[in-house]
Amino acid sequence: MTHKREIQGIVVTNGADKTATIVVERRVMHPRYHKTVKRFKKYMVHDENNQLNVGDEIIAIECRPLSKSKSFRLKALVKAGVSA
């Protein structure tokens, strides 16, 4: 059994059907200035029940490719965002 990557991020878009876009933040050391800087990357996550809202913090797990850009599915909702 292979190791499945898990990512944790915040939902920024949920406009598509059964898909949410999350942004994952990581902190890295700048090579020259030795200061911690933030790096961001967006991932598409499969949301089977359309339960995610913008601002939710989730954990996604790697899976087989579901589309051209979607290779993660929802594992758990960590914290619900502020609903407007």
In a domain, 62, yes or no: yes
Residue 65: domain span: 6-79
The number of distinct structural domains making up the chain is 1
In a domain, 84, yes or no: no
In a domain, 33, yes or no: yes
In a domain, 20, yes or no: yes
Q: What is the pLDDT of residue 28?
A: 97
Q: What is the pLDDT of residue 3?
A: 83
The domain that holds 45 is classified in CATH as 2.40.50.140
Binned average pLDDT, 10 residues per bin, the chain of 84 residues: 89 94 97 97 95 94 96 94 68
How far lies 33's CA from each of 25, 28, 36, 39, 46, in Å?
Answer: 20, 11, 9, 15, 38
Q: What is the pLDDT of residue 21?
A: 97
What global pTM score does this model have?
0.87
Compute the residue count for the chain.
84
